[in-house]
């Protein structure tokens, strides 16, 4: 992948997140070994890869919860690892993250959950906060659920409330951590449409981390496939699907056999079964 210098410079200019040669290991396990990727402004970027492939770790690097062992993660042109606490918090106010489980605060109702970041970061009068929160809840179709406690919500509803909370401060970048896991078809369709709407209506740059290839293909402008701690393929969903690489092909078509091992390393199957029966 070589591009002319001017094109490269243009890509850098619109890069909201730039990950360069990132190495990261935890507990002796190498998660990233030279990861390079760019998220461009106003696009929906999909990060795909098998479970345990470091997708959520990438979000932690972008939000500064962890720092890379080597390489750099730049967000809005700032190296996240070098930021002090104050600057990091200022940066995080421009980001939104949708947690897989919603991560709603259980001691407040839906309304207060969505109002929480506004109350903490602004001195807006309560009447204005109310209007703001109701607008965001209406956007996710849950204005009527404002009085409910998080425990009374279904998984899909909790994720939509979390989405309303994530957009209430109008972030420039919105990250979704496995937004489609465990949803029924209706909730899934709603979340997909919401991600698209947030992006087109509000101009939010979106990073969607998931392994649901089919769903991502319908909304992503650009997709990265992470395998073995590196980017194995990058392009539009269509380009990835027609990739000649066996590993990419295996992931996109969901094959158990191929370069990506489905089975955890184990001794020979027959030998182990026979040995067990001898005991």
Partner 1 sequence: MSNHTRGNYLLEGLRRLGSVALFLLQLLAQSLPALTRPDLLLKQIYNAGARSLIIIMLSGLFVGMVLGLQGYDLLQRFGSEEALGIAAALGLLRELAPVITALLFAGRAGTALTSEIGLMRATDQLTAMEIMAVDPLRYVAAPRFLGGVIAMPLLTAIFSVIGLYGAQLVGVQLMGVDRGVFWSQTQGSVALHDVSEGMVKSLVFGVAISLIAVHEGYHAEPTAEGVGLATTRTVVASSVITLLLDYVLTAVFL
Binding site for partner 1 (CB under 8 A): 63, 65, 89-90, 92-93, 95, 97, 99, 101, 103-106, 116-117, 120-121, 165, 169
Among residues 217, 218, 254, which one has the least CA distance to residue 237?
217
CA torsion angle for 255, 256, 258, 261 (degrees, to 10)?
140
Comparison of 105 and 274: residue with beta carbon closer to partner 1: 105
**Residue 16: both structure tokens together:** 């909201």
Smallest gap, in angstroms, from Cβ of residue 200 to partner 1?
24
Asked if residues 252 and 84 have their Cβ atoms less than 8 Å apart, the reply is no
Q: How far is the CB of 92 from partner 1 (least distance, A)?
A: 4
- Minimum Å gap between C-beta 106 and partner 1 is 7
The pair of structure tokens assigned to 160 is: 């939509």
Residue 222 Cβ, how far from partner 1 at the closest point, in Å?
24
Q: What does the alpha-carbon distance between residue 113 and residue 197 come to, in Å, rounded to a whole number?
A: 22
Q: How many CB atoms lie within 10 A of CB 120?
A: 8
Long-range CB contacts for residues 18-22, cutoff 8 Å, separation at least 24: 18/72, 18/73, 18/74, 19/58, 19/61, 19/62, 19/71, 19/72, 19/73, 19/74, 20/71, 20/72, 20/73, 20/74, 21/70, 21/71, 21/72, 22/61, 22/68, 22/70, 22/71, 22/72, 22/73
Name which of 14 and 170 has its Cβ closer to partner 1: 170
Nearer to partner 1, 63 or 243 (CB): 63
Query: Quick one: 113 or 223, whose CB is closer to partner 1?
Result: 113
The least CB distance from residue 125 to partner 1, in Å, is 16
Q: Based on CB atoms, which residue is closest to partner 1, 151 or 256?
A: 151
Residue whose CB is less far from partner 1, 162 or 231: 162
User: Tokens in use for 195?
Assistant: 């991600």
CB of 271 to partner 1, least distance (A): 34
Cβ–Cβ under 8 Å, residues 200 and 150: no
Farthest-apart Cα atoms in the chain, separation: 75
CB 93, min distance to partner 1, A? 5
* Integer Cα distance of 252 and 164 in angstroms: 31
Q: Of 49 and 96, which has the nearer Cβ to partner 1?
A: 96
């Amino acid at each position: 992948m070589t591009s002319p210098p001017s094109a490269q410079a243009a890509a850098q200019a619109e890069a909201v997140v730039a990950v360069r040669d990132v190495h990261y290991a935890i507990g002796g396990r190498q998660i990233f070994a030279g990861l390079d990727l760019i998220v461009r402004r106003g696009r929906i970027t999909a990060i795909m890869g098998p479970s345990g492939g470091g997708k959520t770790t990438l979000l932690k690097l972008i939000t500064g919860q962890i720092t890379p062992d080597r390489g750099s993660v730049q967000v809005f042109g700032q190296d996240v690892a070098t930021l002090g606490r104050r600057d990091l918090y200022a940066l995080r106010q421009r980001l939104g993250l949708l947690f897989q489980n919603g991560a709603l605060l259980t001691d407040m109702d839906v309304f207060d959950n969505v109002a929480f970041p506004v109350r903490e970061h602004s001195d807006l009068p309560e009447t204005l906060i109310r209007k703001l929160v109701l607008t965001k809840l209406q956007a996710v179709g849950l204005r009527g659920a404002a009085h409910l406690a998080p425990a009374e919500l279904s998984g899909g509803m909790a994720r939509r409330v979390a989405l309303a909370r994530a957009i209430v401060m109008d972030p420039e970048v919105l990250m979704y951590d496995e937004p489609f896991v465990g949803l029924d078809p209706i909730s899934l369709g709603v979340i997909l449409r919401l991600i698209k709407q947030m992006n087109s209506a509000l101009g939010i740059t979106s990073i969607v981390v998931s392994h649901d290839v089919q769903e991502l293909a319908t909304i992503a402008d650009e997709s990265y496939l992470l395998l073995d701690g590196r980017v194995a393929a990058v392009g539009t969903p269509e380009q990835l699907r027609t990739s000649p690489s066996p590993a990419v092909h295996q992931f996109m078509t969901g094959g158990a056999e191929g370069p990506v091992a489905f089975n955890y390393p184990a001794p020979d199957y027959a030998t182990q079964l026979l040995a067990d029966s001898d005991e």
